[in-house]
Structures are given as C-alpha cells and as structure tokens.
Structure 1
Amino acid sequence: MDRYVIGNGFICDGERIFLKDGGILVEGERIKKIGKWEDLKKEDCEKIDVKGRMIIPGILNAHHHSYSSLACGLKTKDISTFPKRLKNLWWKLDSILDKELIYYSTMKSLIDGIKNGTTMVFDHHASMGFIKGSLNIIKDVYKICYIKGVLSFEVSERSKETIKEQIDENISFYFENIKDENIKGLFGLHANFTLSDKTLKRIGELKPEEMGIHIHCGESVIDYDYCKKKGYSGTVHRLQSFNLLNDLSILAHCVHISNRDLKIIEQINPVIVSNPVSNANNRIGCFNFMKIKDYVLGSDGIGSDIIYQFKFRFFQNSQQKDIKDLFFKNMKLTKKKFFPDADDFKEGKKADIVVLDYIPVMDVDEDNIVSHLVFGVQNRNVFITISNGKILFKDGKITFIDEDALFNEIKKITGHLKRKFYA
C-alpha cells in the first residue's frame, strides 16, 4: 500500500480549510490525516515537498464529450450557425466513431484533463455507428487512467433505427456499474429537439426511477422553441412531463429556459452545468447566473480545463459575490451525489488532490481565494494530480503510461479519423 505525505503548501478547500504550511498523509486510496507539515513530515514514509504551492481538492468536469478530443484541425463545411455546426461537424464525427477512435479520443481527453487537475468527469458520449459496448470501452480507459466517471450514451432520433440499441446501452451499463466505486451510469439524452414525445414516453417507462438523466437542456433557442411548439412551458417542463427528472439528473446549459422551468429546478434540485466557453463559441446566449445560483462547470468537449472555464465565467461578472461557491462548494455537493467518499478534504475520504504550480506571495483566505485562482494560477499550471491516492501527474509527466508512445499512436489514429471523416 502506498503511503506518503504531501505538503509544505497552502491547503484550501474554499470553505473550511485554509491551512498554511499544511500537509496531507495519504495511505492507499484515502486521506489518513490533514495537519501541519512540521508534524506530518515526521511520519515514516515518502515526503513530497510542494514548496509553498496551493493544494486543492480534485477538480470535476461536470459535462464533457471525450470523443471530441481528436477533432481539432478537421476541415468542415459551413458551421456558421449552431444547427450547421451540429450537422457538419459533431453529428458527422460521432457517426464514424469506431472502437479505436472511441478508445484513443477518451485516452487523450483524460490525459489532458489530468494535466489540468481533473479527477472526475461526467462524460456524455455519442457514437451512432458503434453503440453497443461503447460505454465499456470508455470505462476501460477511465480505469487505466484512475479517473472517476459518470458515463452515458446520448439517445437521439438522428439515428431512429437504432433507438432501442441506444436505450439498451444506457440501461445495461447503469445496472452493470451500480456497485462500482469509481464508475457510474446515467441515462443519456441528446436534447429535447432531437427526441419525440413518443421516444421520451418510452424512455420514461423503461428507465429505472432512481436513474438520473444527462441531457443538453435549453442549450439553444431551437430547443426552447421546439418544446413551446409542442405545448410545453419550457425545456425542463417537457422532461418533467415524462417523469424523467430527479436530483441525480444532469441538465447541461439551461440557457433558454422558462420561469416554470426555474420552479421545477428549485423543486427537484438536479445538477445544472454551465459551459461558458462552449456557449460563447456556439453563440447561443449566456447562462443566467443571476437566476440560477447553484450550478457547476463543464467544458462541453472544448478542452479539459475547468479552471479556464471558471476564469471565463468570472470575467463575465467579476462582481458576483458567491462565485467562490461555484468552484468549491457547488463542486463538492455535486461530487457527493455520485461519489460521496471523494467529495472533500476529510480524513477517511478518497485522496483526490491537486497541487497547483503556483506559489502565493500573499496568504490564501476565504476572501481572496478567487483572485488567487483567476489572476495567480495560469493555464496548464498544475504541478501534481492525485486520484484515489495514485499520483497521476508529477514534474510535468504522466506517471502511469508512456505518453510519447501514446502520442505516436494517437497521431496514427487521427489519420484513420480523417479518412473516415472526409470519405
């Protein structure tokens, strides 16, 4: 069993712990003790001296598409509008994914995430030409990378002939992983506007009541208008009408929602995920963080850097008083829903730890921690990433895989991707 002390840094969880010159004793997968570095370094085990750097809990990416990680550089037709971007890039890409492409895109995505301090990902997958077993391929990569994941397959009628197979992939994966400590399943749905009432009714009847959903909800006005034309009060109301919502549901975006939708959100308390960089890229509008206070951040497939997403949100409204909660409290509460033993810095919890490659010259406290994150920490500025006590990234290197060999394989597989995409 691995046993080590990591410390001589500024330990902070954004709420309870602001410990200067602190240390964490890790035994196996778990935190054994949190205290002063001077005391803990007397332990008879390896010592990792971070020399004053910030130590924070592992980071959650609450809405991601790992399959997008190989798409950078693809030349596409017109993507000037959101529907054209879906049709000519993302839906074309997910229609050609095969076993190799799913595996290597997930691997690249998780490696990038680890380098940015990510220890937990809610992955929303689509591969309309390779459905059955696709989530198990992704799960295998998560296991190799020691990352906790909540996985789902986004059901969509853009592939009507495979609806049953899409539904089965979600439900079978969910039951297979109920007892897994590091992998969970949800029921994935693409969006309201690619799903008929008939299909939603069918899913409502087949999905276990306690199983949450993961869906793009009100991402664009197209989604909202589609629901309104069908007689619903909004995008969330339509999902509730088919008994699809519970507190484990993940509603990504929620840009275009109604007042009734907001009341339903208050009643049910689902996980709301804002994806600010993606929203700006797709030009679909801004998340209303004045009306929805309790939400977390996702990358929506645009990179794997949640600190960057946090900075982007900060600059949209730097005067938001509770923005600290977005990165710490809200993230902790969301982790707790799915992995309650990996939600916080506490003795006995899973050791998910990130050391930022940033040495504060001024002490970190409850009032200034946001300014340290936004103005002090730079992009790709992670020194160490630890998940379940396993050191995954240290001294600029991934520890559990030959990254050079992996990159060579990925370069080969992108040639395969381009041939299929341009065929």
Structure 2
Amino acid sequence: MNEKKILISNGSVICGNGKVFPKGWILIDGGKISRMGSSKPPSCGENTIVLDAQGHYVMPGFINAHTHLYSQLARGIPAGRMKSFGQVLKGLWWKLDRALTLEDVYVSATLGAVEAIKSGVTTVVDHHASYGAITGSLGAVSEAVSNLGVRASICFEISDRCGKGARDEAVAETGLYLESLKNHQASDPRFLLRGMVGLHASMTLSDETLEQALELMEIFGVGAHVHVAEGIEDVNATRKICGLSPAARLVRKGILNPNSLAIHCVHVDEEDIKLIKKAGCYAVHNPSSNLNNAVGVAPFLALCRGGVPVAIGTDGMSSGVACDIKLASVLHKPGALDAQAAWNEVEGAVRFVAPHMVSGMFGCSVGVLEKGAAADVIIVDDAPPTLLDGKNSWGHTIFGVLNARVRTTIIDGKIRMHDFQMADIDEISLSNAARKLSKRLWKRII
C-alpha cells in the first residue's frame, strides 16, 4: 500500500533557515518535503492527509544532541545526599547502570522516546550505559525508538570502570551493533538509526581502551560520542594519567575527529578550545545538567568564538530540549555583562549546528524545512500574536514556541502524535509497566 501524502495547511511556518511563511503550507511525500509555499495550498487527491495548523507555528522538529535514555527509571529515586560530581556518578548513575536489565533498558528507552515525541524532539543522540546488561542492550534501545519512529543515533558508553571483562563486552556490543546498522542502511535508505562509538570520559579510559575505540571508529567510519571535562575530576585524573587535559589526550589519541561529539566541555581552557577546533569535532552544551550536578558553567561563548560548532543537549535531564535551549539563551549573559550575549550563538546551535551534525549522520537534510529535506515537522499549540518574519522568528521561538505544548509531531513523513494523541502506543500500560520495573530496580540499588 502506498504511503499517504500529508498536507499541512494554514501554518505560521518557521523554516529554520531564515525563511518564514506566515500563512504557509507544506506537502510531505515519501518521507521528504515535496513542496512548500504561502497562501493557497495545492489541491491534493484522496491519498492525502490534510492537517489544518489553524495558524499555529509549524517548525522543524528539535534535535537533542546528547541524552541518556536509560535514565528514565531513575525519576524520583531516593539516592541520598550527594555533594560532588564524583559522588553523583558513584552514588547514583554507576549504581543504576549496573542494576539495569534488558527489560529495564527497553522500557526506559520507550519512555524517553515518548517524551521526545511529546516535546517535539524528532532526533535524539543517545549515549547508553547498562553494565548489568551489556550484550543486546543497543538492540533493546533501537527496538524501543524504532517502534515509535524516532530518528536516533545510539552508542554504548565504553569504560574501564567495571573491569576488563565488562570493557571487552562493551566493545564487542558496539562492534556488533555498528555492523548490524551497516546492513540495515544498505537495504533501507529511510532507516532512522545511526551509531557511534560511545566512550565515558578520559578519567575511566585506559590507553588500550582508546586504541580499541579508535579501531572501531576506523572500521565503521563513525565518530566518538564522549564526555569531555564535564567535572574537574576528569581533568585531575587525566593529568595524573598522562599529564594532559582530557581534550588534549583525546585529540592526541585520534578520538576527537570531524565526526565526533565532545560532550560538556565545562573545564576546557583556551588551549583545549584550539585543539577541539583543530580536531574539527562538535561540542555539545548541556546547561541544565551542568548546573544540576554543580560541575560549573561551560565556556559556551568562548567555544563559539573559537570556531567550535556547539549544539545543545540535555544529558538525560529530559528528552525534550526546550528547557536547555531557554537556559542557554540566558545563562551566559551575566558573565558577559551583555543582555544580548548568546542570542545569536544559541540560535546557531539550534538552527545550524545540530541540523548540520545530524544531516551528516543521515546523509540528508535534517532539522530544516525546505524542499527535499527529511519531513521531521512539528505543529506547536501557539500562534504568533505579533508580526512574524525572517528577522524575528528566533524571538518567536524563544518567547513563544518554547513555552508552548507541541500539538503534532511528524517524523520521516509519518504522524507520530496528532492533537496531543500518541500513535502506536498505550501510554497507560507503559506507565504501569515502568512503575513495576522501577520498584524492583530501586530495590537492587538502594
């Protein structure tokens, strides 16, 4: 049966590339944007679903450039008093990932995918860890996000923290997963999953592990997804290991390259920024998580001034990225003593850097509304109360779109939520299953 076309009419269309159609329409066909324009939409046949946007904002779906879907079952867990970042890692997250089962992994990823869709996030870049269930875990995450049609890049967080045996199993899981993706991509040009070589952080990675990771990167032609200088602990431990900063070590070892993601970069200095820029990789700013873990504030503006392309993620605080975008837009103003500091840089992170990063992964235009681009589109439950044009659309995004609920989410030309109703899942049954699993999980941790 042929896939139905979708016509979105009567929308306040923000394309994400500087163009705006205040009274616009979009025609979707075969997972791509076929045509778009303003005023009167084209006539379509019976094989077309017509969505009236009712004047509401229509935009590209958001991209969460770094998250941890496995964190969903930790919501509300009584983890006890934790002050330092090291205590947070050892007292919560490393305990959690050692206690996860494959069923936990699947349900947690499903919860995260639902949250993404309801938040208007159409692409997630996930960094998975489950040292209690390594083999098969990437398949479980993939199955969960695929069932809901979310575009995703997935990896396993390779680390030496659980010993050589677990490290070797994580490396093997990564290799098997990347091989399976290669086969899927060859047979299905619209396949929505990609992979990377995941690494925890320099402080938990031996030289031998970095060499194994680099070998996988070279075999499969992918980059690394690695935390860089998130906490001062990473800096201090790495300097003890080799006398270098985390960024310098990872660049020297070839881990940071043009396909790689350097996550956080909170404790990087000017020399690190120069090295990251020279390596050609992306950085990902996660402001809510950094403040929540009391690790500091990343030098976002310095990274941007240094020519490093910076996207925005959540680090598992949420699958939705709106709160982090808003926070990033104001967080750096006091330090710069400039009320408009970071305005252009955050817009660039959302509209240009993240789409460029993900478009490179998928080999097509993602994160923009234009002819031929992937049909990842959201309709927001808000309409512009003032003039909307190409010059002020970012202001409408910051002060309007990010405060509103998402009404409809379309990914790869398929409606995944419409009028707030999710397709393809019983949310009540999912919540009931998650509560039962989390109760057992917490008993294994606490």
TM-score of the superposition, structure 1-length normalised? 0.95
Identity across aligned pairs (percent)?
Answer: 31
The residue type equivalent to 2:316 in the other structure is: G
Cα distance per residue 1:366-391 (max 9 Å; x no partner) = 33223222222354611111001111
Whole-Å separation in 2 of the counterparts to 1:242 and 1:138? 29
Cα distance per residue 1:251-295 (max 9 Å; x no partner) = 110111133321222222212100000001011111112211221
Unaligned runs of 5+ residues in structure 1 are none
Aligned to 1:193: 203
Cα distance per residue 1:194-251 (max 9 Å; x no partner) = 1122322343345426321111111011111222233444211101222222211111
The answer to whether residue 181 in structure 2 is matched with residue 177 in structure 1 is yes
The residue type equivalent to 1:304 in the other structure is: S
Q: CA shift at 1:192, angstroms?
A: 0.7
The residue type equivalent to 1:328 in the other structure is: R
Whole-Å separation in 1 of the counterparts to 2:402 and 2:29? 30
Q: CA shift at 1:60, angstroms?
A: 0.8
The residue type equivalent to 1:395 in the other structure is: D
Contact persistence 2:225–2:262 (CA under 8 A): yes
Q: CA shift at 1:418, angstroms?
A: 2.2
> Mean alpha-carbon deviation: is it higher for 180-189 or for 61-70?
180-189
Q: CA shift at 1:139, angstroms?
A: 0.6
Unaligned runs of 5+ residues in structure 2 are 186-190, 334-338
- What is the number of equivalent residue pairs in this alignment? 422
Whole-Å separation in 2 of the counterparts to 1:133 and 1:121? 20
Q: CA shift at 1:143, angstroms?
A: 1.0
After TM superposition, the structure 1 = structure 2 runs for residues 328-407 of structure 1, keeping only pairs within 5 Å, are 328-343=351-366, 344-379=368-403, 381-407=405-431
Whole-Å separation in 1 of the counterparts to 2:236 and 2:82? 21
The residue type equivalent to 1:324 in the other structure is: E
Contact persistence 2:79–2:91 (CA under 8 A): yes
> Mean alpha-carbon deviation: is it higher for 113-122 or for 14-23?
14-23
Aligned to 1:295: 310
Residue 271 of structure 2 aligns to a residue in which SS? helix
Contact persistence 1:364–1:372 (CA under 8 A): yes
The answer to whether residue 434 in structure 2 is matched with residue 410 in structure 1 is yes
* 2:117 aligns with one of 114, 117, 124: 114
Residue 407 of structure 2 aligns to a residue in which SS? strand
Q: CA RMSD in A?
A: 1.8
Aligned to 1:211: 222
Structure 1 residues 410 and 202, CA, compared in 2 at 3 Å: closer, same or farther?
Answer: closer
Q: CA shift at 1:312, angstroms?
A: 0.6
Aligned to 1:96: 99
After TM superposition, the structure 1 = structure 2 runs for residues 23-422 of structure 1, keeping only pairs within 5 Å, are 23-40=25-42, 44=46, 45-160=48-163, 161-178=165-182, 179-180=184-185, 181-208=191-218, 210-293=221-304, 294-316=309-331, 317=333, 319=340, 320-322=342-344, 323-343=346-366, 344-379=368-403, 381-422=405-446
Contact persistence 1:237–1:261 (CA under 8 A): yes
Whole-Å separation in 2 of the counterparts to 1:58 and 1:98? 31
> Mean alpha-carbon deviation: is it higher for 345-354 or for 79-88?
345-354
Q: CA shift at 1:43, angstroms?
A: 5.6
Q: CA shift at 1:79, angstroms?
A: 1.3
Contact persistence 1:233–1:261 (CA under 8 A): no
Structure 1 residues 340 and 201, CA, compared in 2 at 3 Å: closer, same or farther?
Answer: closer
Structure 1 residues 370 and 398, CA, compared in 2 at 3 Å: closer, same or farther?
Answer: same
The residue type equivalent to 1:333 in the other structure is: H
Residue 237 of structure 2 aligns to a residue in which SS? helix
Whole-Å separation in 2 of the counterparts to 1:26 and 1:14? 17
Cα distance per residue 1:20-77 (max 9 Å; x no partner) = 1101111232211111251335665332111111111111111110010111111113
The residue type equivalent to 2:13 in the other structure is: I
> Mean alpha-carbon deviation: is it higher for 406-415 or for 243-252?
406-415
